[in-house]
Amino acid sequence: MRRYKQEDAEFIFQVVSQRKIAETTIMIPHPYPRQTVDWWINYVDGNFDEGKAYELGLFRKDSPNNYVGNCGLISVSKEHNNGELGFFIHPEYWNTGLATEACQALIDFGFMNLGLERIHGRCMSKNIGSKRVMEKSGLVVEGLARNEVLKWGKYEDVCHLGIIRSEWLNSKS
């Protein structure tokens, strides 16, 4: 995991432009415009510097240019000491444990380094894999918001999950 660089843009585009990712995520469109990647890298970098969000690129250890996906704490609220866990992974790496490993590292970072009290996440209810990753990372289902998002002309239910500091501390002991 590391911060993004402009040189990563083409590698990122190859992943985020895949329909399989877009159809199971709330925020990623399809088709994904190539120029949006350049803007997004600057946006993510600025948010990181301002402490608003901490998104990191996931790259293979044995091949540093092989982009695997993204994991981060977004919408970090200093006022309320919370943040939202967000991630996407290249479909070739689904069910390999990489997403869970990345999410657990970001959760640890959020509680240890940022002093957060709560970390929450959400996913479309049809995205069983993302829900499972969050549960394996310690988040618990807090509810289902029916018809919360409109994706490609269809309303989708969204699962909301969360973990608070005391639960995270208990899982570490």
* Four-residue CA torsion sign, 102, 107, 112, 115: positive
Give the model's confidence band at 145: pLDDT under 50 very low, under 70 low, under 90 confident, else very high.
very high
pLDDT in tens, 17-58: 999 999 999 999 999 999 999 999 999 999 999 999 999 999
pLDDT number for residue 159: 98
Q: How far apart are CA 139 and CA 87, in angstroms?
A: 14
Q: Could you give the angle at which helices 98-112 and 128-136 cross, rounded to 10 degrees?
A: 50
User: What is the mean predicted confidence (pLDDT) over 136-159?
Assistant: 97
pLDDT in tens, 85-111: 999 999 999 999 999 999 999 999 999
How is residue 153 written in tokens? Answer: 């002309």
pLDDT number for residue 65: 82
Beta 154-164 vs 54-60: how paired, if at all? unpaired
Phi and psi for 9 in degrees, rounded to 5?
Answer: -55, -45
3 state SS of 90: coil
**19 Cβ neighbours under 8 A, 6+ residues apart:** 30
Answer whether residue 112 shows pLDDT above 90: yes
Answer whether residue 63 shows pLDDT above 90: no
User: What is the mean predicted confidence (pLDDT) over 150-171?
Assistant: 97
Q: What is the mean pLDDT of the chain?
A: 96
pLDDT number for residue 135: 98
Transcribe 18-33 into DSSP letters: -HHHHTT-SS--SS--
pLDDT number for residue 173: 87
User: What is the mean predicted confidence (pLDDT) over 130-147?
Assistant: 98
Under DSSP, the state recorded for 2 is: B
At 41, which helix (H) or strand (E)? Answer: helix 34-50
